[in-house]
Structure 1
Amino acid sequence: MYGVGTSAVGSGNTLTLTVNFGFSPSFAGDRIIYMAARRNGDAFNSGWQAAGSLTVEYRQAVYTIQSTK
């Protein structure tokens, strides 16, 4: 993961997370993206949930991951 190009923007009950990252050749293949949410200050925790999928190809590319939940 790289710092440049990575951001988080909140609006109402929506959080848009943009993450700039790359993969090594050994990581190529189909992957499941998991997400979790936690409210600060109390015990509310969504737990890890499958929120999307990604096919990693060994080439430089921009990937967009979007959750429909």
Structure 2
Amino acid sequence: GDMLYYPVGESKPVRIQGAYVSEKEVEQIVKFIKTKSDSEYKEDIIDEIESPSETPGEVDELLPKAIEIV
């Protein structure tokens, strides 16, 4: 749908458009992509996931859910 986005440094909001994609549609797209290509993982990202930063505020609370979905 239509929305107004207020970019940093702009004096007026900008009208932008985006499509609504349901959670089920996202799951179907991910499933399709997984069947069409091999997985490629970046080791530095895996290391960060397995031993996250101890700094408060840097832990992404949604990361476990994102990993589960993908």
Shorter chain as normaliser: what TM range? under 0.3
Greater gyration radius: 2
Calculate the TM-score normalised by the size of structure 1: 0.21
Calculate the TM-score normalised by the size of structure 2: 0.21
Q: Which is strand-richer, 1 or 2?
A: 1
Which structure has more relative contact order (CA 8 Å, sep 6+)? It is 1
